A = this chain, B = another copy of it.
């Protein structure tokens, strides 16, 4: 045990390396210029002393702040969702009632007005995005997923992105494009959470000192997870769905403690949205508020289903799998093409593109229903509340559009010339059998599918949920028509099939399972259909897997005809993963690759040169090391008295940069600083080492040092992470991957095989509390007992620490580290 009594035993290595025992997010600077997050909590004296002083009260305060933030996120996201909904529904409602008024006189004038309003809204949206908040384009879910996986994409969580997303969504959704506001709401929730977590936006002078408690990456990540759940909860008014979405789709690390908080945030959102809708019901919000808390309520739909119906439902599942996978595939092609050709030409092209798509969408949605012959209204049932045709300016089924007679309606206009929410409500509606003709549904399906594919990837905030539901419910209803015709005696509602279709398409495209189920149930308020939704989702998944394996077989024969890599993957990954991949966000999946089984940790490092730093390092050496490479972490090596080298910790580039910039730790002597003179570390505020979210941090080129400075030394000991994770060199890469991924690491040191084992830790050693409990009545005294224990331990350590101080420790090792 002689060798164990070493210089680094003075270091504060005994506490955990992070604020809360979980290693922080991982870093990388990857090939597509996506800057990565670089943040690790420093274990310096100052911080820990500060924390120790605050003690239990501080912990309590911290927990309180976390819950208070969860409350604020819930309220903020709820209000943002209400604001967007009110705006969109009022813009859209005003647009449609104006158009309907004008077409009483002239269809041409109505047509023009309709196109112009849409164009103006879409233009405003794309203008905001391109000029003001480029990071707000798209749904934002892949980026948030990346953030929670450890990759910080610049700009994605800024205040301007939040504002751009809110107003951009209003424009793009209000302008009638084939996209939804649900994805953007998730992003909005995440932005609100992140801004709260970093204490407001410094740039816009909205920051508050009081809120700057969350400098830990893990706490920020937790808040963003809450924000995502809040977004979904607000978008669909589906609180449980929100929690599950955050759990299943977005986060990479999930802790059971977080569940409660996420759940609380979702509940708050539900309460806020509900309260706002209650207030709006009395007519304070114009067109908004008529829908009720359940978005597309079909609880009065089909009561029961029989086994004969399983066949058409399976058909829906298969169609969903195929069309969903095809959708992903097509969007990949379009996005690649956009990225490589169109969007390289600058913002102007993006604006033109969005405007052009807006005009096309308007023309198709207005023009196609004109070509469709009107149908006579069904015999009115006095009990039914559904009017035919619907009253002007109201929502509902049976739209009278370009019909010659009063008692007629245009089935294509009912879904096409309408807001998407209303169209979906019509498609889901029960007791409206044969409202839509197969021909109209087919036309709509083809046109809308094309529009959705083309619109995907334009420079406006865009969600894929609502378009997915539109597409799915259309073919679902189509299958429903055939089923109704075939099984005449059964009590079948076409709306049920529309719902199943929607679930199957979303399943095929986004590959969510449990959260999608719950969301579908919550938005339709029909629990009885749950097993059917599950069934349809499973079939669509199996169908994708089958097609995928066949596809791969075929392609392995055809090969090289396509840019084949994308084709193969398309059938294997969900929309968000695809988007993340296209944007160069290197997500670490939860499962290691099959190839890793045959590799060792050493092989994964390849021939990379390890650059290590000595404990006390010359400033000039630090600068040259930082200039010479892009690594983000460096091992720090020290020497024992008998000349052996010893790895004493991990030093982060970002922390080195902070030290270089502040200069206050420079010392003239190449000897380690006195550990009891802790003044160096206290000179630093803990928050100096924190990097703001969504920024690139300092670069070595920003730092200017005089030649005197370069001759000075820094003692790294107070600033390094003294117990980085290690793996032996010949460990299987699969195991290494699991450690890295499951603990959320950024650096693992690969070390040689150990020469001896000091101890073996088993479950027994980790059940401290239990042992004591059994032996005594002292649980409540345990604080004191334990306190004494620790004091003893600390004494021992201090005794240890005092012996080998400052004697023959320092061997300048610049050769080794710079070679």
Contacts and interface: CB of A to CB of B under 8 A. Distances in A.
A769 B527 CA distance: 42
20 contacts: A15-B597, A17-B735, A21-B596, A21-B738, A26-B762, A26-B763, A28-B763, A28-B764, A28-B767, A260-B541, A266-B534, A270-B534, A559-B781, A581-B770, A596-B768, A602-B759, A633-B762, A647-B755, A725-B735, A726-B727
A665 to B, nearest CB: 24
Contact of A730 (B14, B528, B756): B14
B758 A729 contact: yes
A565 B761 CA distance: 27
Q: Which of A4, A535, A598 has the most CB of B within 10 A?
A: A598
Given A586-B770, A764-B30, A267 B538 contact: yes
Contacts of A30: 763-764, 767
Contacts of A40: none
Interface stretch (A349-357, A366-374, A605-613): A605-613
What 9 A-B pairs come out closest when comparing CB atoms?
Answer: A605-B759, A565-B779, A751-B754, A21-B734, A267-B534, A16-B734, A16-B732, A28-B763, A723-B731
Interface stretch (A181-189, A452-460, A742-750): A742-750
Interface in A1-38: 3-4, 6, 8-9, 13-17, 21-23, 26-28, 30-31, 36
A604 B728 CA distance: 21
Interface in A777-814: 777-781, 786, 790, 793-794
Contacts of A769: 593
Interface stretch (A191-199, A417-425, A516-524): A516-524
A206 interface: no
Contact of A793 (B15, B599, B735): B599
A752 interface: yes
A141 interface: no
Interface stretch (A219-227, A251-259, A382-390, A427-435): A251-259
A723 B727 CA distance: 9
Interface string A601-630: 111111010101000000000000000000
A777 B734 CA distance: 26
Given A601-B761, A647-B755, A725-B739, 19 more contacts: A4-B753, A16-B732, A27-B762, A28-B763, A30-B763, A30-B764, A270-B530, A593-B768, A605-B761, A605-B765, A608-B759, A608-B760, A725-B735, A736-B766, A737-B766, A740-B763, A747-B760, A750-B761, A752-B756
A266 B595 CA distance: 33
A71 B755 CA distance: 49
Interface string A493-524: 00000000000000000000110011001100
Q: Which of A31, A601, A736, A758 has the most CB of B within 10 A?
A: A758
A575 interface: no
Contact of A758 (B275, B605, B722, B770): B605
A761 B725 CA distance: 10
Contacts of A727: 723, 725-726, 761
A730 B9 contact: yes
B735 A21 contact: yes
Contact of A723 (B267, B514, B728): B728
A376 interface: no
A347 interface: no
A14 B758 contact: no
Contacts of A569: 779
A548 to B, nearest CB: 13
A36 to B, nearest CB: 8
